[in-house]
Structure 1
């Protein structure tokens, strides 16, 4: 159920923040330095035509496009994969199961490939859009055992991957010790994102056990250090 091999980087594309052509131009610069294996497409506050933007990006790239859904309204048939997320760190039923029930019939109708993913928010030193939209609180960053327990719950519930997320624009990334422990305890493919701004950090997260490192805000604002 996990369709990717090896370790790599996914770049997050938010259609509300960058035009497709601008994103592809910045992606090319990063791709020259890092092993970019895919593009996550997602937005907490969608104002534009996400499917139109996806089609434009898809025409310019030879990388898989993976939906990182904020809502079932963001679904369309142009994605290669969908992260079928359940926000396990929160207790809001809308994001534990509600959005998933709404999305499931459309996913089936569109014939999309899904990656069932346990999504876990970890405190990143600032209040994030994900916290606001989902009306949930992240797990305190020093509570490694709680982070691991949520990841294990995801494993035993049958999820195919774990996503540890500090949030878009996070000041602090997910602690490396939490990444190590989650990988050791679950053995599942592990995605880590939020607050990652440099190629050296990417290497550290890969060494700690992350299979995929996600970079978003640093690409958008040009602060990424290669």
Structure 2
């Protein structure tokens, strides 16, 4: 089964999913197999791998270490062209549709597509929308784009509709790593009214209640990263996954 088909199976079953983001810069090669194994055992549905910088030269070895213990899809969440590498089950082929930087809208994709083909990665075209979160995030700074104002759901809806009409397979609403405020439920709900493709929401989600509220507003997948990167609490991760899986059925 292709990774995209696997992801589509969640909304088809009226079920939400939980993704955990690993920033390879924050972990050693030696510890990553155990981290990957623990994430899978916690009931998480996919592992995202990425970061805005990825400064260390052992990145390929870290990807291999994560994959060695993973029993769920390992998906590249690239911050730049330089992060495209082999060994992943799929790659989010991200276009920063909330901004007007031509490189992040389409330019880098022209350069990256042949690499993705050569590596045999499954591309999942994703409309990536940066949402204002109370502080300047790394994604905002590195992409040289302005986020959509959090209090302007109509602007977000227009961008999301355009993404769906242009054939994007997923939407990713991103408040940013370490965001002060996550993406508002009012914005998620407004987008859900008009858009049928799956919605991923990430950034600033620090507790189970917030994650569940995002799902009930219309999100299909929740991404967490910093929360577990900082404390390594896999029992909490399991509780997150269980609550997210049940959120649509309550």
TM-score class, shorter-chain normalisation, is over 0.9
- Residues 184-223 of structure 1 correspond to what in structure 2 (within 5 A)? 184-222=193-231
- Unmatched 5+ residue regions in structure 2? 11-15, 240-250
Give the aligned partner of residue 153 of structure 2.
144
Give the aligned partner of residue 105 of structure 1.
114
Higher helix share: 2
User: Quick one: which of 50, 66, 69 aligns to 2:75?
Assistant: 66
Pairing 1:95–2:98 present: no
CA displacement 1:20-51 (0-9 Å, x = unmatched):
55456556666666x41001111101111322
Give the aligned partner of residue 159 of structure 1.
168
Pairing 1:37–2:37 present: no
Task: Give, in whole Å, the separation in 2 of the partners of 1:141 and 1:154.
Answer: 19
Pairing 1:3–2:6 present: yes
Give the aligned partner of residue 134 of structure 1.
143
CA displacement 1:102-160 (0-9 Å, x = unmatched):
11001111111111000000011111100111011101100000011111110011101
SS in 2 for 1:126: coil
Task: Give, in whole Å, the separation in 1 of the partners of 2:6 and 2:110.
Answer: 23
Residues 37, 135 of structure 1: CA spacing in aligned structure 2 closer, same or farther, 3 A cutoff?
A: same
Task: Give, in whole Å, the separation in 2 of the partners of 1:182 and 1:86.
Answer: 18
Residues 14, 199 of structure 1: CA spacing in aligned structure 2 closer, same or farther, 3 A cutoff?
A: same
Residues 27, 57 of structure 1: CA spacing in aligned structure 2 closer, same or farther, 3 A cutoff?
A: closer
Instruction: Say if 2:21 and 2:225, in contact at 8 Å, map to a contact too.
Output: yes
- Unmatched 5+ residue regions in structure 1? none
Q: CA deviation at 1:205?
A: 1.5
Residues 58, 19 of structure 1: CA spacing in aligned structure 2 closer, same or farther, 3 A cutoff?
A: same
Task: Give, in whole Å, the separation in 2 of the partners of 1:199 and 1:21.
Answer: 30
Task: Give, in whole Å, the separation in 2 of the partners of 1:23 and 1:141.
Answer: 35
Task: Give, in whole Å, the separation in 2 of the partners of 1:20 and 1:163.
Answer: 28
TM-score (normalised: structure 1): 0.92
SS in 2 for 1:148: helix
Aligned residues: 225
Question: Aligned Cα RMSD in Å?
Answer: 1.9
Task: Give, in whole Å, the separation in 2 of the partners of 1:27 and 1:127.
Answer: 30
Residues 23, 180 of structure 1: CA spacing in aligned structure 2 closer, same or farther, 3 A cutoff?
A: farther
User: Quick one: which of 43, 52, 64 aligns to 2:61?
Assistant: 52
Task: Give, in whole Å, the separation in 2 of the partners of 1:145 and 1:156.
Answer: 16
Residues 223, 171 of structure 1: CA spacing in aligned structure 2 closer, same or farther, 3 A cutoff?
A: farther
CA displacement 1:158-186 (0-9 Å, x = unmatched):
10110000001101000011111212211
